[in-house]
Each structure stands twice: as C-alpha cells, then as structure tokens.
Chain A
C-alpha cells in the first residue's frame, strides 16, 4: 500500500510537470451546476438525495415500469433476472442476481437513477427510485416487506455476497 501511494505521489509530481504546459482553459463550475451533474452514489451513501420509499410502493411501480423486461418477482425475462440465485455461485450453474451477487445496495439506487426504466431514464422521482430499491431488496429477502429505504438506511444494508469479492487492484 505504501509503495502504491509512493508511486501515485511520483505520478502526481510528473503530472504537475506536465500541467505546466497546459493552457489552463478550464472553466469554473458553480456549485449548483455541479450538483445537477453528479449522479454518483458511493458505497457509504455519499450522493444519495433526500426522499424515501417502501417495498410495497415499489411493488406497484415494478409492475408498471420493470415487469415487462425483468419478469414476475424479478424472475427475469427479456432482460436480467433480479432475484434469487442465492447459494448457486459455487455450484455448476451460478445465477448472478441483485440478491445473489451484487456487493453493495447503493449500486441499486445509482444504477436505477442513471439508466432505468430503459426507454425513459430520468422519468422516476427519487422517492420512486427508493421504493423500487426497497422492493428489489425485499424480493431477495435482504430487507423485510415493511422496510423503508432512504439515504440513511440504504448504505446500512449489508448485501449477502459482500465479502466474496477479491480485488485485483488493491488501491483503496
């Protein structure tokens, strides 16, 4: 780790030298504009907006927006299976779903807000995305059906497969 940081420090020095040659034409960005651009949610919950949603609300939204591609109860269809598969990863036919494979629950909010529903990304409110997140976690038995998901509860959800990943790139 020390060596890696040392290496990074060297690169930073090299970059500083290169930067001397840059014309310095970047334009400052106002804080509000930055906020509007920032869709990233980190595993510790940084980036999660206010709002909340329950699994029961999410179940209704799922039927409207997700079921056509992802099947009844997240069983899969034209597109990815989202539920089940727990216990299959070390067997002959691993089934990778949100519940069996995904290491972080925050990834659900991050991805749903960016990209779903496929034909109308950006059409769901933050409350609706929290509700769908809650529903998908409940479908996989990770939270109970009454759970409410928000910026505080989501990063606290521990995914079942979380500890089964090994980093080939060690840097934190």
Chain B
C-alpha cells in the first residue's frame, strides 16, 4: 500500500485513491486523425522507473492528481493537482 500526499487533504492511504491511468498521454483534438486517436487510446508505455500517473482521491476531495512515482520502488517524487489552474492556485497558497 502506497501513501499519497494529496495537495488538499494531506498524506492518505492508497485505499482512498483510484488509479486513473497514464498521465503522460496527451489526448489529441476531437477532430484529429484515427492514427492519433488510436495512439492515445491504445498504445501505452510501461516504464520501469519514474512515471507520471493520474490518481483520483475518490474517498477524499475527489480531485484528480498527477503523481510522479517510481514504478520500481514505489517512491513518490511529486504530487500535483491535475487541473493546471487549480494546481497553480494551491501552489501559490502554500
């Protein structure tokens, strides 16, 4: 069980969060080509080491977080709010 430092709620157990996938994927515009969409939806890296992931604080504030995590050691290097505007506000406040 890993523990994640939610910017709103503090350090909480993994059981409060839901993994929501690869945060390094940039989804293309809605009218992008089939190839671009195929790549974004189906093709994933499976890195050994540092990775960026979405985690939702489902049983807390509900915010979607970008967690930078070492997939090998489970060390968490950074946690940010996924919404760039909100992240800026929270970081500015701290």
A binds B: no
User: Which residues of A does B touch, CB under 8 Å?
Assistant: none
User: Which residues of B does A touch, CB under 8 Å?
Assistant: none
